[in-house]
């Protein structure tokens, strides 16, 4: 590689007299052009025509040609800056440094990146973006170099090496026309993009007021909706990684819990990704199959370091300074309806620090919803909700639920429980199902009269089953799923028990008295049917003794109507 330190032009007809072509005024680092940001976007004209390379100047081997010009810019405040460059041909190489001389320059950003072809034989090569974006600090001086780049690439040169006549080969009962044979040779090309005029652009977004932890915005209330923007935001020294992501563009809020419960921070601002598409092509005619041929290509390029895709990072902490924050035990909501949402438990009067960042420092604007859910009324064992019947459907939530002292802990749970009770109207197998709940919550079935003397009868995740005893009251706890809480749908199914018919007393031609054997406190439902398969409810009665009576009209016959009595509850 030849680096041009200067170019000498001899004037024809004047032996011994020569003129050096004019170099850019900012060709040398010492003469770099100052960029002033007046509060709006900046656009500057420049040139690389006749630019030279200085001794000690930073040089990216295989990318830089050494034909550089220099600019300098001082960040007026923290923020996010985008430098763009538009030049001739494939564009210009733009690199940004900190430092005041060549011996102390430190690379901050560049518009070059590595891309690899889909086919391995084409290799990997440098490409140039038309801009580069990075965070800047207040008062920091940045040195901007623009260079005429070297473009190296590979293309495949196809070669024909086939016999004069293609051959017809019989394949499995059909005939296949064999294609001529082609191969290819990888050819490398290297070009120095011609130097010339160019345009430098600067777009600067100052950091928002709540960029720093000490400038956080105060939120008030149990339900908030606000528009969040982390454009221009930066990362502070000592700031933690939010949601396990290094981020780099955080803004801060402070919120004091008006009540204990569970807080959800959510947003639905990020659209879904679209899947890639592809296809194939073939031709057939009669019983001959022709395989289409096309020259080999390098295939698509794969960016090895693409700019990060923006999506929000949400986190919550306790603490009063950036260096001593304690996570609020945040959990990802992990529900399709709430992408990127988090939840955490809060205590009344505690102040929480909320960070809103972007994936790998990417920035954007998105809606933020803060919702505080107070514990449900059946949070504590003593406030359990009674349920009745052989078919139970209950709804509720364990968001904001709290563990009680002495409460038994179910496997896979942190003890955030809500309670129901159920008294068995019949003996037999009983099934509890939580299908349709937000998560596969652990569920436990107990006997006992206080939270400290419970006896576990059955427990599992998402469902449970046990053998019930007539008249026994069971306590049902639905707990969190490894800390996650949400909506609950609970179904309980007990056996359908038909009571034996004790006697039939005819009252008239169309009316009889049906007497069934029963246990006291059972609630009995009389049903009628015209076909013995589909039953219609008639009336209920509470058994106070060993039998229960129903007046049936019209009277049952061998061809219908038919009657039966089933147990449906216990009182």
The residues pairing with 563 across neighbouring beta strands, listed in sequence order, are: 528
d(CA 399, CA 373): 6
d(CA 505, CA 515): 8
How far, CA to CA in Å, does 169 sit from each of 92, 116, 172, 308, 333? 54, 38, 10, 52, 61
Q: Which residue has the tokens 């056996």?
A: 495
Backbone dihedral region for residue 65 (phi beyond 0: left; psi -120 to 50: alpha; all else: beta) = alpha
What SS3 state is found at 31?
helix
Tens of pLDDT, residue by residue over 302-353, are: 998 899 999 999 999 999 999 999 999 999 998 888 889 999 999 999 999 9
The residues pairing with 72 across neighbouring beta strands, listed in sequence order, are: 34, 143
Q: What is the pLDDT of residue 492?
A: 94
Q: What is the pLDDT of residue 570?
A: 93
Q: What is the pLDDT of residue 521?
A: 95
Q: 6: closest CA among 68, 65, 72, 50?
A: 50
Q: 39: closest CA among 205, 200, 201, 209?
A: 205
d(CA 125, CA 155): 12
Q: What is the pLDDT of residue 12?
A: 43
Delineate the domains of the chain, giving CATH numbers in brackets.
9-203 (2.60.120.380), 208-272+308-373 (2.60.120.380), 381-493 (2.60.120.380), 501-570 (2.60.40)
How far, CA to CA in Å, does 157 sit from each of 85, 184, 185, 393, 486? 33, 5, 5, 72, 62
* Separation of first and last alpha carbons in the chain: 96
Structural tokens at position 73: 């810019």
Sheet holding 112-117, edge to edge: 124-128, 112-117, 301-303
d(CA 64, CA 540): 92
d(CA 528, CA 166): 85
Burial class (CB in 10 A: 0-12, 13-18, 19+), 279: exposed
Q: 376: closest CA among 488, 241, 257, 264?
A: 488
Q: What is the pLDDT of residue 76?
A: 96
Residues of the chain with pLDDT under 50: 1-14, 18, 162-172, 174-177, 269-290
d(CA 415, CA 178): 71
d(CA 23, CA 78): 35
Tens of pLDDT, residue by residue over 110-133, are: 999 988 888 877 788 888 899 999
**Phi, psi angles (nearest 5°) of residue 31:** -110, 25
In contact, 98 and 143? CB cutoff 8 Å: yes
Length of the chain: 571
Q: What is the pLDDT of residue 191?
A: 61
Q: What is the pLDDT of residue 457?
A: 97
How far, CA to CA in Å, does 130 sit from each of 83, 116, 143, 200? 9, 19, 18, 10
Q: What is the pLDDT of residue 274?
A: 31
Burial class (CB in 10 A: 0-12, 13-18, 19+), 480: buried
d(CA 86, CA 492): 69
CA 484 to the chain's CA centroid? 16
Q: 351: closest CA among 323, 371, 326, 314?
A: 326
- Indicate the DSSP class of residue 249: -
- pTM to 2 decimal places: 0.79
């Amino acid at each position: 590689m030849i680096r041009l330190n200067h170019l000498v032009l001899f004037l024809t007809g004047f032996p011994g007299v020569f003129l050096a072509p004019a170099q850019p005024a900012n060709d040398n680092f010492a003469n770099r052009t100052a960029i002033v940001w007046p509060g709006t976007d900046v656009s500057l004209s420049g040139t690389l025509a006749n630019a030279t390379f200085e001794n000690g100047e930073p040089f990216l081997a295989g990318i830089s040609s050494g034909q550089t010009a220099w600019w300098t810019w001082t960040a007026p405040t923290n923020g996010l800056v985008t430098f763009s460059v538009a030049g001739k041909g494939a564009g210009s190489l733009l690199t940004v440094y900190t430092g005041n001389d060549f011996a102390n320059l430190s690379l901050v950003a560049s518009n070059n990146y590595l891309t690899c072809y889909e086919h391995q034989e084409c290799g990997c090569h440098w490409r140039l973006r038309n801009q580069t974006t990075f965070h800047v600090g207040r008062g920091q001086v940045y040195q901007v170099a623009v260079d005429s780049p070297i473009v190296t690439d590979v293309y495949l040169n196809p070669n024909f090496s086939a016999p004069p006549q293609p051959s017809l080969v019989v394949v499995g009962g059909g005939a296949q026309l064999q294609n001529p044979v082609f191969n290819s040779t990888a050819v490398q090309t290297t070009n120095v993009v011609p130097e010339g005029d160019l345009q430098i652009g600067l777009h600067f977004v100052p950091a928002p007021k709540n960029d720093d932890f000490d400038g956080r915005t105060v939120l008030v209330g149990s339900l908030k909706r606000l528009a969040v923007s982390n454009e221009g935001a930066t990362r502070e020294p000592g700031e933690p990684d939010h949601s396990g992501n290094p981020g780099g563009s955080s803004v801060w809020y402070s919120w004091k819990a008006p009540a204990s419960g569970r807080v959800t921070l959510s947003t639905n601002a990020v659209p879904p990704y679209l899947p890639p598409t592809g296809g194939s092509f073939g031709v057939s005619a009669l019983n001959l199959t022709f395989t289409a041929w096309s020259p080999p290509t390098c295939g698509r390029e794969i960016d090895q370091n693409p700019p990060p895709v923006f999506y929000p990072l949400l986190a919550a902490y306790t603490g009063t300074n950036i260096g001593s924050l304690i996570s609020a035990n945040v959990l990802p909501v992990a529900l399709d309806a709430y992408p990127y949402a988090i939840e955490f438990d809060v205590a009344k009067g505690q102040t929480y620090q909320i960070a809103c960042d972007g994936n790998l420092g990417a920035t954007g604007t998105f809606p933020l919803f803060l919702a505080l859910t107070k514990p449900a009324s059946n949070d504590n064992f003593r406030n359990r909700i009674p349920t009745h019947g052989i078919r139970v459907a209950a709804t509720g939530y364990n968001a904001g639920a709290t563990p009680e002292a002495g409460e038994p802990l179910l496997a896979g749970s942190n003890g955030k429980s809500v309670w129901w009770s159920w008294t068995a109207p019949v003996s037999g197998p009983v099934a509890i199902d939580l299908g349709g709940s937000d998560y596969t919550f652990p569920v436990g079935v107990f006997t006992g009269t206080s939270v400290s003397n419970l006896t576990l009868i059955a427990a599992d995740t998402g469902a449970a089953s046990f053998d019930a005893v007539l008249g026994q009251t069971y306590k049902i706890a639905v707990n969190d799923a490894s800390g996650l809480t949400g909506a609950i749908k609970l179904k309980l199914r007990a056996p359908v028990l038909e009571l034996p018919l004790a006697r039939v007393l005819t009252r008239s031609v169309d009316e009889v008295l049906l007497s069934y054997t029963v246990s006291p406190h059972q609630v009995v439902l009389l049903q009628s049917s015209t076909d013995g398969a589909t039953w219609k409810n008639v009336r209920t009665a509470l058994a106070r003794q060993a039998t229960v009576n129903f007046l049936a009209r019209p009277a049952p016959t061998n061809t219908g109507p038919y009657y039966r009595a089933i147990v449906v509850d216990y009182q």
